[in-house]
């Protein structure tokens, strides 16, 4: 008889700084633990000791300080290894293992696949677990929004978001910031007749009033309500002010520029 290991991955969401989310991933079968994009060490170390966990890996989606700020302190405190994508102009502190598209990161009995998603930065990556229906997207896709262009081009980011469309729609999107309310305020201005969006925003406001996170969402929620994934929609094109036949990547570029100029409320 063959041993079958049913892996299960516990995900702990740690709110830090003003609006960042750091994620602890704990492979229950083996006890292996990783942290995604640790900005600051203390809340991570607190969670580890509270739960009696030993950190094996840091997974970085990109090099920004609010994603890698705790790398060196956590390495020093736990001896963990740092996984990310090496790039000379986007340095990740303490990087031990550089990964590229399609690489598999093993965490105990769980596996995460590396997806290259340039746009927010030139070398941004994500970690996708098909088995656990979860993707850790950093600052690429947000609930009701997407990352700003801080290194990559609009075309890069457009193509990266298209890539996420290929994942199963029930996949949970673990993004790195609680930006949903302000993203939603913009989304309503370009997609005012979208009932699913209006309904979702009600839930978002209620959750925030209770002090609860609005992340993760599912890809299917994003397909229905996130304007940056709906650049093929005639109503979005009209709101952006482009012709029906305008290519989607151009709609996306203009939509991203509109969001940059948008001041909520
Ligand atoms: Zn960033």
Indicate if the pLDDT at residue 9 is higher than 70: yes
CA 139 to ligand 1 center in whole angstroms: 5
41-51 vs 71-78: helix axis angle to the nearest 10? 30
157 found inside a domain? yes
Which residues form the catalytic set? 62, 64, 66-67, 120, 139, 177
Query: Quick check: 83 and 94 in contact, CB under 8 A?
Result: no
d(CA 76, CA 95): 13
CA 30 to ligand 1 center in whole angstroms: 31
User: What would the pLDDT profile of 113-160 be if each residue is shown by its tens digit?
Assistant: 999 999 999 999 999 999 999 999 999 999 999 999 999 999 999 999
d(CA 47, CA 140): 26
User: What would the pLDDT profile of 166-185 be if each residue is shown by its tens digit?
Assistant: 999 999 999 999 999 999 99
| Cα angle, residue 185 at apex, residues 182 and 186 outer, rounded to 5° | 95
What range does the domain containing 64 cover? 9-261
User: What would the pLDDT profile of 67-120 be if each residue is shown by its tens digit?
Assistant: 999 999 999 999 999 999 999 999 999 999 999 999 999 999 999 999 999 999
Query: Quick check: 214 and 180 in contact, CB under 8 A?
Result: yes
- Per-residue confidence (pLDDT) for residue 2, from 0 to 100: 47
Query: Please, which residues have CB within 8 angstroms of residue 221's CB and are 6 or more apart in sequence?
Result: 143, 200
d(CA 43, CA 160): 31
Query: Quick check: 251 and 242 in contact, CB under 8 A?
Result: yes
4 found inside a domain? no
| Residue with tokens 């729609």, as numbered in its chain | 169
2 found inside a domain? no
215 found inside a domain? yes
- Per-residue confidence (pLDDT) for residue 264, from 0 to 100: 56
Backbone angles phi, psi at 138, to 5 degrees: 60, -125
- Per-residue confidence (pLDDT) for residue 78, from 0 to 100: 98
Indicate if the pLDDT at residue 7 is higher than 70: no
CA 6 to ligand 1 center in whole angstroms: 34
DSSP state of 38: -
- Per-residue confidence (pLDDT) for residue 176, from 0 to 100: 98
d(CA 121, CA 132): 26
176 found inside a domain? yes
CA 14 to ligand 1 center in whole angstroms: 17
- Per-residue confidence (pLDDT) for residue 263, from 0 to 100: 77
Query: Quick check: 53 and 33 in contact, CB under 8 A?
Result: yes
Indicate if the pLDDT at residue 17 is higher than 90: yes
DSSP characters for 212-231?
A: -----EEHHHHHHH-GGG-T
Q: What is the pTM of this model?
A: 0.96
1 found inside a domain? no
CA 150 to ligand 1 center in whole angstroms: 8
Better-predicted residue by pLDDT, 7 or 140: 140
3 found inside a domain? no
193 found inside a domain? yes
User: What would the pLDDT profile of 180-209 be if each residue is shown by its tens digit?
Assistant: 999 999 999 999 999 999 999 999 999 999
Backbone angles phi, psi at 180, to 5 degrees: -65, -40
Query: Quick check: 92 and 75 in contact, CB under 8 A?
Result: no
d(CA 48, CA 58): 13
Q: Give the count of domains, the chain.
A: 1
| Residue with tokens 């599912």, as numbered in its chain | 218
User: What would the pLDDT profile of 222-234 be if each residue is shown by its tens digit?
Assistant: 999 999 999 999 9
CA 111 to ligand 1 center in whole angstroms: 24
- CATH code where residue 256 lies: 3.60.15.10
d(CA 6, CA 29): 8
- The kind and range of the H/E element at 207 are helix 195-209
């Amino acid at each position: 008889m063959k041993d079958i290991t049913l892996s299960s991955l516990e995900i702990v969401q740690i709110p830090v700084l003003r609006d960042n989310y750091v994620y602890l991933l704990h492979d229950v079968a083996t006890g292996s633990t990783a942290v995604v994009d640790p900005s600051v060490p203390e809340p991570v170390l607190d969670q580890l000791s509270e739960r009696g966990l030993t950190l094996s890996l840091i997974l970085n989606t990109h090099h920004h300080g609010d994603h890698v700020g705790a790398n060196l302190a956590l390495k020093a405190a736990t001896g963990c290894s740092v996984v990310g994508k090496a790039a000379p102009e986007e340095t990740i502190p303490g990087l031990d293992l550089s990964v590229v598209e399609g690489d598999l990161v093993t965490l105990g009995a769980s596996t995460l696949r590396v997806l290259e998603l340039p746009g927010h930065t030139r070398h941004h990556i994500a970690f996708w677990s098909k088995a656990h229906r979860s993707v850790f997207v950093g600052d690429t896709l947000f609930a009701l929004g997407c990352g700003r262009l801080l290194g990559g081009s609009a075309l890069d980011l457009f193509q990266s978001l298209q890539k996420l469309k290929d994942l199963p729609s029930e996949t949970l999107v673990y993004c790195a910031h609680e930006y949903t309310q302000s993203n939603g305020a913009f989304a309503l201005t370009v997609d005012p007749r979208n009932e699913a969006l209006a309904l979702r925003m009600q839930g978002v406001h209620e959750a925030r009033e209770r002090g609860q996170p609005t992340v993760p969402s599912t890809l299917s929620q994003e397909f229905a309500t996130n304007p940056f994934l709906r650049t093929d929609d005639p109503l979005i094109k009209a709101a952006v002010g482009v012709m029906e036949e305008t290519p989607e990547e151009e709609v996306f570029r203009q939509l991203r520029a509109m969001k940059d100029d948008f001041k909520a409320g």
